[in-house]
Structures are given as structure tokens and as C-alpha cells.
Amino acid sequence: MKTPLVVDLDGTLLRNDSLIEMFVGGLLRQPWIILKALLMLFDGRSAFKQRIFQINQLDVNLFPIRDEFLDFLHEEKRTGRDIFLVTAADQQLADVIALKLGIFETASGSKDGHNLKGKQKLEYLQKRFPHGFAYAGDSSADIPIWKEAASIILVGTSEATRRAAQSLKTEIEHDFSTERIGFGTWIKALRIHQWSKNFLLFVPLILAHQYAVGAAIANVLAAFFCMGIIASGTYLINDLSDLDADRNHKTKRHRAIASGTIGPGRAFLVAVTAIGDERL
């Protein structure tokens, strides 16, 4: 019989980080309630995660799942392997995902002041699976767990994390590589092609016969790029605000943020930087 397989949630089974996505989504919809939720950190990370889930307005059933990895899990399930979901995400979210997929023996998440991450997760796994376990994860935080696991499954790891895992004595059972986010992905997400509308700024320059004046050209070029950057930041905010609608759409669900190719946290930081810097 195969070793029980333990699966992480954020960044592994899911393409996104659920906590960051729910936080950013709430910040765009209910900023004061979300900021107030930060006070829950004084009661511990588990309490904070629970509160964020409770006030979340996104449909967690639409969170992007790694299809290739999920197919693998279904195949393992068919061969009789026991699969368990163990995540640092809130227990309520773990339950929702487990119910949706129906492949896990049990789903364990953070609850009752116990944040199931890092050392606490490892201790839980060693107690829960005294005869060994395989572990599927994605980040450097999983390295201590991989070190003690019977085998490793890499899912969406960075090159640095992959090399760290390969340096361990633990067998790598499977490696589900993730395509790196290329420049073209960001170009598409930022809607650079929409900058073409800003060429209208050159019309007054031409009509005023200032097209040979260096200072005038420089000013128009600066305005062109500033307006383009602000527009791109606005598109990212719009995508973050419309995640549920995009994920329910036939074609828009393939957009970088909706599909989980670009994380919501990174997209939000880029958007705020683009909009904020240009308005200063």
C-alpha cells in the first residue's frame, strides 16, 4: 500500500494564496472592516484567518485549482491511496475545498488558536502519520516537512525551492513544474495595447505645429506614459474587483489574475504603485 499523501492547499492545490486573495478582495470592497480585522492578529494568526474567511465576499469554490495536479490526485485515489488535505488556511476553507473535490479522507486547517504552519504542521503530521507520509507542497516553508517525509511531490515550486528539495535525501516522487510568469503575461494583464488610445494626446501637438519643439514633445511623451501607467494600474484593480465574475466567464476566466497565473497580492502591489506614484 502506498504511503498516505498529504496535500497542502495554498500555492499547491490552489494556484493562489487564499488568505491574500480574500484580504485584497475585502480591502477593495470593505476596507474599514478588513483593516479592523487586522486587530485579530493580537489573538493569533489562526483567529485572523478565521475572521478574514467570515467576512470574505469571494466565492471560494471558484478559487483556481491546478488541474494537472488534481488529475494526478484523482488517479492516486483510484489506485487506493489515502489522500489528506492539511493546510495553514482556515479550517472552514479547508472544509469547503474538501467538500467540493471529494477526494480527501480528512481536511485539517488552522483553528482554535492553532496555526497549522511550519513547525506546528510538521508536529501534527508526525503525530497523525507515525508510519510516514508523502507531502505535496510548493514553497520554502515546506522544506522542513519534506526533510521528514517519506517522499516529496513538488507543485508549482520556484527554481530555488526545487534545488533545495533536490538537495535533501528524500525521494522526489513527482514534480509538477509551473511555467514561469513571463514578460508577455504582464504585458497582457496590464493591457499595454490600450495605451494606443493615448496617441490622441499628440493631436493638439500637431495642430499647434509644436511637433518640432523638443520641450513640447517631451511633455506629451511624459503624459502619454503617465496616463498609460495609471490606466494599467486601474485595469489590475478592475480585474481584482471582478474575480468572481471573470472566473464564471467563458473566456475571462483565463485572464492572468482570475486563473491564478499572477497572484492577487503581487497584482495589487503593482496596481497601487502604478496609480499612486503617478498621482503624487
| Contact yes or no for 164/157 (Cβ under 8 A) | no
Quick one: pLDDT at residue 280? 44
Quick one: pLDDT at residue 179? 66
- State the Cα–Cα distance between residues 264 and 239, nearest whole angstrom: 9
Q: What is the mean pLDDT of residues 2-18?
A: 95
Quick one: pLDDT at residue 176? 92
Q: Give the tens place of pLDDT for each residue, 256-266.
A: 999 999 999 99
Q: Give the tens place of pLDDT for each residue, 190-219.
A: 999 999 998 998 898 888 888 788 898 999
Q: What is the mean pLDDT of residues 40-61?
A: 92
- State the Cα–Cα distance between residues 262 and 104, nearest whole angstrom: 27
Q: Give the tens place of pLDDT for each residue, 61-118.
A: 999 999 999 999 999 999 999 999 999 999 999 999 999 999 999 999 999 888 999 8
pLDDT at residue 6 above 60?
yes
The one-letter amino acid at 202: F
pLDDT at residue 239 above 80?
yes
pLDDT at residue 144 above 80?
yes
* Angle (CA) 176 180 186, round 5°: 140
pLDDT at residue 156 above 60?
yes
Strand pairing partners for 135? Answer: 6, 152
Encode 159-181 in three state secondary structure. HHHHHHHHCCCCEEEEEECCCCC
Strand pairing partners for 151? Answer: 134, 171
Q: What is the mean pLDDT of residues 8-36?
A: 93
pLDDT at residue 34 above 80?
yes
> What pTM, to 2 d.p., does this model score?
0.88
The share of the chain scoring above pLDDT 70, in percent, equals 98
Quick one: pLDDT at residue 113? 86
Residue 277: band (very low, low, confident or very high) from pLDDT cuts 50, 70, 90? low
pLDDT at residue 279 above 70?
no
Summary mean pLDDT of the chain: 92
